[in-house]
Amino acid sequence: MRGFTVGETDVHHRFDVDGKSHELWLTRSGSAYRLDLPDGKTHSISLIEDVPGYGRLTVDGLSEPIAFVIDGDTVHIHRAGRAYALKYVDPLIAFATAGDDAGQNVARAPMPGVVVAVKVEEGQAVLAGTVLVVIESMKLETAIRASRDGVVTRIHVKAGDSFDRDVPLVTLSQENV
C-alpha cells in the first residue's frame, strides 16, 4: 500500500498508449506528483508549461522539453523526437461497458444512483458515443454513452428509477448499424 501524508490526493487512472492499457496512481503533493505503477516503481513528476503547448517535463529530477496538445480525452506529446498519444480512460465508462459481453451490448450502471433522463427510445439507431441515459450518483450527473454503433433493443429503466451498481440500463442489438 502506498504511504500518504496530510494534503495528498491519490487517484487511480488508466491510459491507453499505442493500444496498450496502463494503470497508475497519481498523488498530488504541492506542485508535483508522485506516480505509482503496478510493479511497485515510484516516480516524482512535474510539468511546467512555459507557453501554451510547450513546457518542461521533469521525471525523477531529469528535465526535458516537450510539446503537447490536448484533444478531448487524449493528450498528444512530442518529446525526444518521438510522438505519443495518451488516451485517458474514464473509469465510469470503462465500468459501464465492462461485463460478460465485453460491454458491446449492455450499458450498465457504474454505481448506485437514480435515473435523471432516458435519452433514447427502443428501436432507435445510435452511434458510438450517443448519450443513452443520464444518471445521478453521489450528487453528480453522469452521461452513460453507447460503446458502439447499434440499435436500442431494450431500455431497462425510466426517469426517476433508483438502481444498484452493475444493473443493465440499456441493451443494444448484437449487430452494428
What is the per-residue pLDDT for 141?
Answer: 83
Last residue of a domain, one of 88, 111, 140: 88
- The reply to whether 1 falls in a domain is no
- The reply to whether 73 falls in a domain is yes
Count of domains in the chain?
A: 2
- The reply to whether 2 falls in a domain is no
What is the per-residue pLDDT for 7?
Answer: 47
What is the per-residue pLDDT for 10?
Answer: 59
Could you read off the pLDDT tens digit of each residue along the chain, which spans 177 residues?
344 444 455 567 777 776 677 777 878 877 788 888 878 888 899 888 889 889 999 999 999 999 988 888 888 888 887 877 788 877 666 655 555 444 468 888 877 889 999 999 999 999 888 899 998 877 778 888 887 888 999 999 999 999 987 789 999 986 655
Residue 28 shares a structural domain with residue 82:
yes
What is the per-residue pLDDT for 94?
Answer: 63
Where are any strands of DSSP class E within 30-73? 32-36, 42-51, 54-59, 62-71
Check which CATH number belongs to the domain holding 52 and give it.
3.30.700.30
Q: What strands, in cross-sheet order, belong to the sheet with 131-137?
A: 140-145, 131-137, 113-118, 162-163
Considering only CA atoms, which of 15, 162, 3, 166 is closest in space to residue 91? 15
Last residue of a domain, one of 88, 114, 137: 88
Considering only CA atoms, which of 134, 85, 89 is closest in space to residue 107? 134
Exposure letters 33-58 (e unless 16+ CB within 10 A, then b): bbbbeeeeeeeeeeeeeeeeeebebe
- The reply to whether 149 falls in a domain is yes
